[in-house]
């Protein structure tokens, strides 16, 4: 470095850290992130990419743009309602409010009337029971997989879980039902074959070692052709009242039948047909936060709640708050998206297409999240050149379109109408780029 080297004038770290704006940023950002921003600006100046006099301004600008969270909100233009890669169900405004107000101190395990400790999550439990009167009791855990693990552990650890070979499914990355059950210390007792299982297969497998019988909704695929399974009422009749619990893993978390999804099992029906307990997810068709729902006979739910594992999979206050609000509030965004009126979707798509000189084409949305495979949700999409897709994903707001058949398709089903303007602006920017 010569005497005249401008790099001598790069502000020192302590000078930059003492800037009023940097001190102010400490309310939002942690020390390591602030130091990283400072260091990056100094490095840029050392490489000659930034004048030493501009370093302080660059630091202030960069800090203003930084956020302590890096997850980015995405406009879901795929038409896939329960999109696992996008965090499954978007929460309703009332659920968001509930979550925010539960984020401070909250009476999750306290009776404010008496000032004494109360049972955790009473309100969420009551909300679920009111929404599903066929259940005597309810328990909320961390997710659907946890609900199933808890059920098989509490009812069958060291013993057998009787399950049809046609239902030994893999749901998604890291969720293989047989592995999950094996991990609980219960033994799988597989009955029937991949395509056919009969009542006698179940009957023959029952014995003193049976911990429970499990029926799983094979949510994400369909076996067609020469198939047969055993319906819940038959299974219930065969088990009669021999004391062997009948567990049904529904997956979707649907509490009552939805006429749009006639093949999707729901809690009310499964319980009325004789399931002792059902398990499901909070963030699939229930439309709430990630959670595992257990509903069923009081005695069985109590066995699960008493098991030590229940503590390891318990739901946090934010989940309980958002779940209660989802169950008690109006239709969740997932339900609104599922039942969106195709004519309205078309009009909205046409408005955006007209504004940018694009075409509107028929497009089927999907339930997603492993639910209702093969059930199309008829709607419409704005058709753009395929190359626009990457720019939309990288834009602000980020937009996730569907790339199909050499085109970039925007299905508005899962986008609230209030966001149409933001979507249009994002499309314009992406087309210009």
Q: Does residue 219 touch ligand PLP according to CB under 6 A?
A: yes
Task: Give the per-residue contact string, 88-127, with ligand PLP (x = CB under 6 A; - = no).
Answer: ----------------------------------------
Residue 189 engages ligand PLP in binding (rule: CB under 6 A): no
Give the Cα separation of 250 and 194 in Å (integer).
19
Q: b/e string for 12-34 if b means 16 or more Cβ within 10 A? A: eeeebbebeebeebeeebeeeeb
Please report, for residues 35, 104, 219, 268, the alpha-carbon distance to residue 253 in angstroms, rounded to integers and kept in the order given: 45, 28, 11, 11
Please tell me whether residue 74 adopts helix, strand or coil conformation: strand
Which of 76, 78, 92, 143 touches ligand PLP (CB under 6 A)?
Answer: 143
Task: Tell me if 287 contacts ligand PLP by CB under 6 A.
Answer: no
| Residue 78 in contact with ligand PLP, rule: CB under 6 A | no
**302-307 contacts, C-beta under 8 A, 24 or more apart:** 302/137, 303/154, 303/155, 304/139, 304/150, 304/151, 304/154, 304/155, 304/277, 305/139, 306/154, 307/150, 307/153, 307/154
Specify the 3-state DSSP secondary structure of 59: helix
- Between 289 and 365, CB nearer to ligand PLP: 289
Q: In the bound complex, what is the minimum distance in angstroms from residue 99's beta carbon to ligand PLP? A: 18
Return the structure tokens found at 265: 């099992």
List the structure tokens of 334.
């997932």
Sole binder of ligand PLP in the list 25, 150, 171, 310 (CB under 6 A):
171
The answer to whether 288 contacts ligand PLP (rule: CB under 6 A) is: no
Nearer to ligand PLP, 192 or 292 (CB): 292
Smallest distance from the beta carbon of 145 to ligand PLP, in angstroms? 3
Q: Which two tokens stand for residue 94?
A: 């009332």
Q: Rule CB under 6 A: is residue 251 a binding residue for ligand PLP?
A: yes
In contact, 381 and 402? CB cutoff 8 Å: yes
The verdict on 138 binding ligand PLP (CB under 6 A) reads no
Beta carbon nearer to ligand PLP, 143 or 164: 143
Segment interacting with ligand PLP, rule: CB under 6 A, options 25-33, 102-110, 140-148, 425-433: 140-148
Q: Does 184 bind ligand PLP (CB under 6 A)?
A: no
What is the C-alpha radius of gyration for the chain, rounded to an integer number of angstroms? 27
Q: Minimum distance from CB of 9 to ligand PLP (Å)?
A: 56
- Total residues at interface with ligand PLP (CB under 6 A): 14
Tokens for 378, please give them: 């008829």
**Shortest Cβ 143–ligand PLP spacing (Å):** 4
What's the closest the beta carbon of residue 210 comes to ligand PLP, in angstroms?
21
From residue 45, alpha-carbon distances to 36, 63, 363 in Å are 14, 17, 51
Closer by beta carbon to ligand PLP, 148 or else 332: 148
Query: Do the Cβ atoms of 347 and 382 come closer than 8 Å?
Result: no
Q: Which of residues 328-387 bind ligand PLP (CB under 6 A)?
A: 370
Per rule CB under 6 A, is residue 152 in the interface with ligand PLP? no
For residue 279, the minimal CB distance to ligand PLP (Å) is 7
Region near ligand PLP per CB under 6 A, out of 67-75, 100-108, 142-150, 197-205: 142-150
3 state DSSP class of 350 = helix
Instruction: Label residue 65 left, alpha or beta by phi (over 0 means left) and psi (-120 to 50 means alpha).
Output: alpha
- By rule CB under 6 A, what string of x and - marks binding of each residue 230-249 to ligand PLP? -------------------x
CA distance 87 to 277: 27
Q: Which of 11, 90, 121, 144 binds ligand PLP (CB under 6 A)?
A: 144
- Closest to ligand PLP by CB, 163 or 352: 163
Residues that bind ligand PLP (CB under 6 A): 143-145, 148, 171, 175, 216-217, 219, 249, 251, 281, 292, 370
């Amino acid at each position: 470095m010569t005497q005249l080297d401008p790099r001598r004038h790069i502000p020192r770290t302590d000078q930059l850290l003492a800037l009023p704006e940097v001190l102010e940023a400490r309310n939002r950002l942690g020390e390591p992130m602030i130091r990283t921003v400072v260091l990056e600006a100094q490095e840029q100046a050392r490489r000659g990419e930034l004048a030493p006099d501009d370093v302080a301004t660059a630091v202030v600008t960069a800090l203003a743009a930084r956020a302590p969270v890096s997850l980015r909100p995405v406009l879901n233009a795929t038409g896939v309602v329960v999109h696992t890669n996008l965090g499954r169900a978007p929460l309703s405004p009332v659920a968001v409010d509930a979550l925010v107000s539960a984020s401070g101190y909250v009476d999750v395990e306290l009776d404010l009337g008496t000032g004494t400790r109360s049972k955790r999550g009473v309100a969420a439990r009551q909300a679920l029971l009111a929404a599903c009167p066929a259940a005597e009791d309810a328990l909320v855990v961390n997710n659907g997989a946890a609900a199933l693990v808890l059920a098989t552990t509490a009812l069958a650890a060291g013993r057998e879980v009787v399950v049809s070979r046609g239902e030994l499914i893999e749901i998604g990355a890291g969720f293989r039902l047989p592995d999950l059950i094996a991990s609980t210390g219960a033994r799988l007792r597989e009955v029937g074959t991949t395509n056919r299982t009969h009542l006698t297969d179940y009957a023959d497998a029952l014995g003193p070692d049976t911990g429970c019988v499990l029926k799983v909704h094979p949510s994400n695929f369909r076996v067609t052709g020469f198939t047969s399974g055993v319906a819940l009422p038959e299974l219930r009749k065969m088990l009669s009242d021999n004391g062997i619990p009948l567990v049904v893993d529904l997956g979707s978390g649907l509490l009552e039948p939805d006429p749009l999804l006639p093949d999707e099992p729901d809690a009310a029906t499964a319980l009325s047909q004789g399931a002792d307990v059902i398990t499901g997810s909070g963030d699939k068709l229930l439309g709430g936060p990630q959670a595992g729902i257990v509903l069923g006979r009081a005695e069985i739910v109590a066995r699960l709640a008493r098991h030590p594992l229940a503590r390891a999979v318990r739901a946090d206050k934010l989940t309980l708050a958002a779940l209660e609000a989802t169950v008690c509030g109006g239709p969740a965004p997932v339900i609104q998206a599922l039942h969106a009126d195709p004519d309205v979707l078309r009009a909205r798509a046409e408005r955006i297409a007209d504004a940018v000189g694009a075409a509107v084409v028929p497009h089927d949305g999907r339930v997603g999240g492993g639910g209702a495979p093969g059930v199309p949700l008829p709607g419409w999409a704005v058709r753009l050149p395929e190359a626009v897709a990457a720019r939309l994903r990288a834009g602000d707001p980020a937009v996730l379109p569907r790339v199909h058949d050499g085109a970039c398709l925007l299905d508005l089903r899962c986008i609230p109408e209030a966001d149409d303007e933001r979507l249009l602006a994002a499309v314009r920017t992406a087309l210009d780029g």
